[in-house]
Amino acid sequence: MNWYLQSSDDCDVVKSTRIRLARNLSEFPFNLEKKEEMEKLENKIKDNLYCIGYGLKFLKLKDMDNITKMSLVEKNLISPEFALKRSKTGSILINEDENICIMVGGKDHLAIQVFNCGIDLENTLNLAIELDEKIGESLGYAIHKKYGYLTSSPSDVGTGLKASVMVHLPALSKTKNIRKILEAISDFGMNIRGVYGENNQIQGDIYQISNKQTLGITEKEIIKNLNIIVRQVIEQERQARKLLAKDDLELEDIIYRSYGILTNARKISYEEARELLSNIKLGTDLGILKELTDLKVQKLYLYSKPAGLQKYLGKQYDRLERDIKRAEIIKQIIAEK
With a pLDDT cut of 70, the percent of the chain lying above it is 98
Which pairing describes strands 143-144 and 110-117: parallel, antiparallel, or unpaired?
A: unpaired
81 lies in the same domain as 218: yes
pLDDT at residue 215 in the model: 85
Q: Are 135 and 52 in contact (CB under 8 A)?
A: yes
Q: Closest Cα partner for 233 from 8, 7, 6, 14?
A: 14
280 lies in the same domain as 191: no
pLDDT at residue 198 in the model: 54
For 319, the 3-state DSSP assignment is helix
pLDDT at residue 199 in the model: 52
285 lies in the same domain as 228: no
153 lies in the same domain as 202: yes
CATH code of residue 180? 3.30.590.10
Range in 26-30, 73-77, 95-99, 315-319 with the lowest mean pLDDT: 26-30
For residue 60, the one-letter residue type is: K
203 lies in the same domain as 295: no
287 lies in the same domain as 329: yes
Range in 72-76, 96-100, 247-251 with the lowest mean pLDDT: 247-251
User: What DSSP string describes 119-182?
Assistant: S-HHHHHHHHHHHHHHHHHHH-B-EETTTEE--SSGGGTBT-EEEEEEEE-HHHHHTT-HHHHH
Higher pLDDT, 18 or 153: 18
Query: Is 60 exceeded by the pLDDT of residue 272?
Result: yes
pLDDT at residue 201 in the model: 66
169 lies in the same domain as 253: no
209 lies in the same domain as 320: no
Domain count, the chain: 2
All residues at 6 or more sequence positions from 321 whose CB lies less than 8 Å from its CB, including other chains: none
Domain stop point among 178, 210, 240:
240
267 lies in the same domain as 149: no
Q: Taking all residues of the chain, what is their mean pLDDT, rounded to a whole number?
A: 93
12 lies in the same domain as 30: yes
Query: Is 90 exceeded by the pLDDT of residue 219?
Result: yes
Domain stop point among 240, 261, 289:
240
44 lies in the same domain as 92: yes
93 lies in the same domain as 118: yes
Per-residue pLDDT band for 34 (boundaries 50, 70, 90) equals confident
Per-residue pLDDT band for 240 (boundaries 50, 70, 90) equals very high
User: In whole angstroms, what is the distance from residue 249 CA to residue 276 CA?
Assistant: 18
Q: Are 188 and 212 in contact (CB under 8 A)?
A: no
Domain containing residue 206: 3-240
Range in 1-5, 33-37, 114-118, 131-135 with the lowest mean pLDDT: 33-37
Query: Is 70 exceeded by the pLDDT of residue 197?
Result: no
pLDDT at residue 196 in the model: 65
Domain stop point among 240, 264, 292:
240
Neighbours of 184 (CB within 10 A): 15
Sign of the C-alpha dihedral computed for residues 82, 87, 92 and 96 taken in this order: positive
